[in-house]
Amino acid sequence: MDLSCQDWMSSLPEELWDLPLTSLAIPGSHDAMSYCLDINSPLVPSESDFFRLLDGLFYCFTRPAIFRWATTQDKSIEEQLSMGIRFFDLRIAHKPKDSSSDLYFTHVIYTHLTVLKTLSSVATWLESHPKEIVILACSHFEGMDDRLHHLFILSLKKLFGSKLCPRKVSFLLVQLFLQHKNNRASQTLSCPPQEPVLTLRSLWASGYQVVLSYESQIAARYQELWPAIPYWWANQRTAQGVISYLEWNKDLGRPEGFFVSGLNLTADRYFITEHPKLSLRTLTFSNWECLRKWVEEQRPGSDPKSLNIIAGDFVGPLPLSSLVIALNQKLLQKNDSL
């Protein structure tokens, strides 16, 4: 099995091309755009008044701490794509008192880069990699009213065009999948299924490359937008805490569609204050070996305890992509045993 990360989807064995994407192991990036946070930007409005007061009084101390702990990635989105990341956690907002319609990414503070400039880079990358599929999970949307949502969605439709996979996949796409799977024309199917069947083969046949999740009720108005994707977020500071939380969720059974298992660690403000020399990067690296071993033991597929998207922090220096992509080998082993 070719584990080349840059074009790993097109390099998967043909036996996996007809499995639902929800059954594949897909590497993801938590807070994907935090590599370009603007240390001088205002705090996002959802931060507490008390923290806002502290930030105003002790700016020289709070800002370096915010930057150390809010930065979860250190590679650009193009670099993350080339490293094999196919799920992107994108937190989007409009700056207060900004008269323009420009949107930015956020994690406590705002980014330098605008959303549309960044996603233009994604569209350009996809042009050069026509068999790679990305899942963009847009969420938070602080400071955005219906007008800004509408403008943003129109811009996304214009940017990605025919690459956007609609929420209700066309009947033809499903027929293509069934025809190949059953080795016969699916003429007996009289009406399209209610739920889409997304596979690599059917997506390649349609030209779709982007699944766009939009965590807002407004998504229901647009067929190009998918609902929010569940994200298992442990809110724990140690690898053991994260793993315990993920195993608890596995025991409850996986969701039917896409879902994310987050390997990302979290530190509360008391811990951050007590450990001024630490950062999210040092915390992540010190816990990596334990997380790595857990990932290697996981299985993709449709079983209740199987995983789908596995997202983490610092996906550049840490080999998350290759670890997660390699899990798909277990699907071949499972098929061979049948």
Write the CB contacts of 63 (distance below 8 Å, at least 6 apart in sequence): 39, 40, 55
186 neighbors 172 (Cβ within 8 angstroms): no
Between strands 231-232 and 225-226, the pairing is: unpaired
Between strands 109-114 and 104-107, the pairing is: antiparallel
Distance, CA of 40 to CA of 216 (rounded, Å): 29
Query: Would you please indicate which residues are annotated as catalytic (active-site) residues?
Result: 30, 107
Name the CA dihedral angle for 45, 51, 52, 58, rounded to a multiple of 10 degrees.
-150
Distance, CA of 269 to CA of 265 (rounded, Å): 13
Widest CA span in the chain: 71
Crossing angle of helices 115-128 and 146-160, in 10° steps, is 20
